[in-house]
Structure 1
């Protein structure tokens, strides 16, 4: 696999001639000592605050003129006076007016002249004094922008890409929404841009990176979507009771809502509730375009994110890896939460060094640090030099008929016989896990014995199921569970693993209208007797293809492979690993139109798990004897989080 070399201004020079050339380009101060960190040398209070409208080249609202998107800019005044060109940090969002950003739901605010007073979050407060510009882009159809919201489609991505083009002198911008006076960026920026954002915002960063646009040096997607189909469906099974038209209506400005009915209808028509793949979803799938990504990618995701589910980062990460993209990753036990709210000090420091390296070219060593940070227990982190770790292998485990107590077994040996369950839409993965040690009519469960050594899963799993339904429609869920006591972040509670406190800490400079001080948070934990490790869902009617469903013939066996979400989890010695196969996972997928019974053919059902150490590690972890965990199995993590139709948890 090719490994791309990142441009670093301060890497040692290879020749004396090159050194002499560089010496002529550097000022005496910079030639004496290469900086390793940008310092807050510039006035935030005196920063230039301005707005421009960038021409996207599209006419989404069909009003006869190309759409312009509003771009609010905060940049140091001193660098402008000095004629120094600086890099840009950009957050392109549909949420700046409707819903707000961050844990405190901050919105943009403006003065009487329409200049931005407050930018949400800490990015401008912290980075502008350190010699960066911060740019907040209103996606088409939102806040002060023209056009229509198309939920991840061409207009969304072009809203931000056009700004990157403008920053690099390739697009037009104007000082007003409808005027003709041009605004130029090439006088104050070097065009080197980093995009960041959580949820929808991070999704836009992924989409712009997938265009390969020149000048985009790095993206930092936080809890971001990689394929919009996989936000609304899972292999044909609907995850929500509505499609992208609901979200479009939720975020668009009142002006857009009045003029964008045709776009709304295209979203409805292009996203049928059958779960079939359509051209609309192809346009909104960034994974196949990972080979076009030239930017580095710093992924942050919650392994228990039940909004933008963990499949998104897994398939994106794997595609980036196949194409040799420079990358880094943080994985947390929390749900849909920003790292500013689950690991604040470390996050600000790491993001600072990341942008310094990627945008300023400082040789600060961050590219030599471990690729992955993984939260093992609340606020306890481990690292991996690469992720998934070397030696990780897909290992096949198989379910087998149960013991005398009726508990199925999970191991390397092919099973025989069948297991039958009936879909019960009133139950969910926590109900199944809580009753794993007794047969119930709503699930089929299989477990290893107590492990004698720790067993680590790292990456994405696949579960192949052969099932015979009794009706023409059927949904399936496959869930991996760590059976044993632990203390985890309570991702199912409000806050999804964090509690917001009253005291504030400050991260950057403040003005009267834009404070850099934010409420502190703490980990919200719960004691559990099992942990859901990974999950996946499918409509059995999609057995021929993940892109089109067909009616089932009752009494006929069908084989389908379910994609389970990526994770990194250690099942400790003394715990057991379980596989559950069931029907509707209440709150996480919508039920089918019928309540089928499904009979599993155990000889044709298997799980391929990404085990660190592969089959040898599994054999070692299941050899010998170990004491089973004591106590009754309890439902420690309460209900799964209520399904949301908005990819954001403010």
Structure 2
């Protein structure tokens, strides 16, 4: 399903970033666009750029670059661990230069096992956390004047490392974690369902890396459905949610960004981390998939997320009165209008909850109805899937071309479908939809995927949210009560459109606990009716 090497930054021009980094070192801007050439000249006037090696844990040398001011004035510093990519620190060449031009001393480095760094990739484990401290030591030893405060900033994999280093190193004063994760265990297993395709994608993206044997084994075991306990223990150690008490004890200011439809790191697990943070915090939520909203900033284009990350550091590292502390904890981008909505807290998104009940006529109705059954044959693909492919699908969403699903092509024998009445006015979904459903499975293990869709009058549909669910412990032919959160959303359903709930037994993005051609019989017992809770503004 994936090429030998999958890029998590498909739209970035690696050659252009490398040329920009070379110009920072040599001063030769020939061949650069005028804007990039001006940036190089401005940075070289403000700071000295140099490449080097950081002595990592165990003597492994990590490839790095340093932007250092020569004056003796006190200044703040920023450390940037690179993403899960063969580009290494070069990914940050433009953004590190922007920070240097703003007055920061900056060190960007490539994590162990990637690109020109030695060692084996530890996937944000203890070695990577210790390396973050060594990178900071390297920076502090080379600054010309006193360092006032220290920030860690990372994208994707680098975001996870930044949060974990901040939790363990008391010298870190603020964090900007863009497109990272909070709970890696939930990234691997969502509602007890292996997120097989996402883990395969991460494995493919590290095709040119040198993974540690344990990392290699875990990334292979999850899609194969092997040794889930070992994988979850491995993931917990690498989860910022497991170390959030240390962030809270020091009230470390944390800036997070994430995508509503992130197919690698689902948004709800980042919301869990966000909810547990008790210090200053801010979360920017965008349309698109993993890293898509932040990518233009990496290329040097105007980008609100990177701009706000700079403002976050300016305020928390430099005491700048730029107003970011007064703008609310949440900035959400609405699908598909791209309207930006600030809110004081996450809970302020949802003003009320509307409950719609699943009934035997295929309707999402106001009143519960018992005694019906809707059967789903397992092991068969349907036209409704999470996305066509990881990451790239998000770029289509950003460009205003979200995937359209042919609702009329759904085979009602392999998918159960319930549809609400047409919306009389715009339905403003804000928050986390919740599904409660009962079903009977003949086999001892069962799973399904629930999708919430926006059905247009012409029969086309667009994905609003989804979630998988697995039950691995019930006896055969027993009733299973499934309660699950769909991924959070900010979505406007236009007048005349209908909300449609689809439940199928198979999606190639997830592991499948069903026996081939088994049947799941969905129902709604009177004591425990099946319903969908919609979060509304």
1:529 matched to 2:453? The reply is: no
1:418 corresponds to:
373
Q: Give CA-to-partner distance per residue, 1:203-237, whole Å, 9 cap, x none.
A: 2223334x253232332222212222222322232
Q: Give CA-to-partner distance per residue, 1:41-60, whole Å, 9 cap, x none.
A: 7635861425242443xxxx
- Going from structure 1 to structure 2, the CA distance change for 1:598 and 1:425 (only over 3 Å counts) comes to same
1:290 corresponds to:
244
Give 2:344's match in structure 1, choosing from 371, 376, 386.
386
User: Once the 2 structures are TM-superposed, how far is the Cα of residue 327 of structure 1 from its aligned partner?
Assistant: 1.9
Report matched runs for 1:565-604 at 5 Å.
Answer: 565-590=487-512, 592-603=514-525, 604=528
2:281 corresponds to:
327
User: Once the 2 structures are TM-superposed, how far is the Cα of residue 598 of structure 1 from its aligned partner?
Assistant: 0.5
Separation (CA, whole Å) in 1 of partners of 2:385 and 2:84:
33
1:49 corresponds to:
50
Structure 2: tracts of 5 or more residues without a match: 1-40, 387-403
1:479 matched to 2:451? The reply is: yes
- Going from structure 1 to structure 2, the CA distance change for 1:410 and 1:127 (only over 3 Å counts) comes to same
- Going from structure 1 to structure 2, the CA distance change for 1:92 and 1:390 (only over 3 Å counts) comes to same
1:373 corresponds to:
331
- Going from structure 1 to structure 2, the CA distance change for 1:351 and 1:303 (only over 3 Å counts) comes to same
Report matched runs for 1:421-460 at 5 Å.
Answer: 421-429=376-384, 434-435=406-407, 440-460=412-432
Report matched runs for 1:281-320 at 5 Å.
Answer: 281-293=235-247, 294-320=251-277
Give 1:276's match in structure 2, choosing from 223, 228, 233.
228
Separation (CA, whole Å) in 1 of partners of 2:374 and 2:133:
52
User: Once the 2 structures are TM-superposed, how far is the Cα of residue 446 of structure 1 from its aligned partner?
Assistant: 1.8
Separation (CA, whole Å) in 2 of partners of 1:219 and 1:54:
23
- Paired residues in the alignment total 469
Report matched runs for 1:80-91 at 5 Å.
Answer: 80=70, 82-91=71-80
User: Once the 2 structures are TM-superposed, how far is the Cα of residue 440 of structure 1 from its aligned partner?
Assistant: 0.7
2:317 corresponds to:
359
2:480 corresponds to:
558
For the 8 Å contact 1:483–1:577, the answer to whether it is kept is yes
- Going from structure 1 to structure 2, the CA distance change for 1:162 and 1:356 (only over 3 Å counts) comes to same
- Going from structure 1 to structure 2, the CA distance change for 1:430 and 1:140 (only over 3 Å counts) comes to closer
Q: Give CA-to-partner distance per residue, 1:421-453, whole Å, 9 cap, x none.
A: 112432252599643798711122222212234
1:74 corresponds to:
67
- Going from structure 1 to structure 2, the CA distance change for 1:303 and 1:271 (only over 3 Å counts) comes to closer
- Going from structure 1 to structure 2, the CA distance change for 1:277 and 1:284 (only over 3 Å counts) comes to farther
Q: Which has the higher contact order (CA 8 A, sep 6+)?
A: 1
For the 8 Å contact 1:425–1:584, the answer to whether it is kept is yes
Q: Give CA-to-partner distance per residue, 1:518-555, whole Å, 9 cap, x none.
A: xxxxxxxxx993321111112221xxxxxxxx4x5332
Separation (CA, whole Å) in 1 of partners of 2:95 and 2:220:
36
1:134 corresponds to:
106
The alignment partner of 2:348 has SS state of coil
For the 8 Å contact 2:79–2:153, the answer to whether it is kept is yes
Separation (CA, whole Å) in 2 of partners of 1:217 and 1:361:
12
1:36 corresponds to:
none
- Going from structure 1 to structure 2, the CA distance change for 1:529 and 1:466 (only over 3 Å counts) comes to same
1:229 matched to 2:185? The reply is: yes
Q: TM-score, normalised by structure 2?
A: 0.75
- Going from structure 1 to structure 2, the CA distance change for 1:567 and 1:353 (only over 3 Å counts) comes to same
Report the aligned-residue RMSD. Answer: 3.6
Structure holding more helix per residue: 2
Q: Give CA-to-partner distance per residue, 1:393-431, whole Å, 9 cap, x none.
A: 67463533243xxx3324353544222111243225259
Separation (CA, whole Å) in 1 of partners of 2:146 and 2:482:
52
The alignment partner of 1:305 has SS state of coil
- Going from structure 1 to structure 2, the CA distance change for 1:481 and 1:369 (only over 3 Å counts) comes to same
For the 8 Å contact 1:421–1:441, the answer to whether it is kept is yes
User: Once the 2 structures are TM-superposed, how far is the Cα of residue 306 of structure 1 from its aligned partner?
Assistant: 1.9
Separation (CA, whole Å) in 2 of partners of 1:318 and 1:468:
34
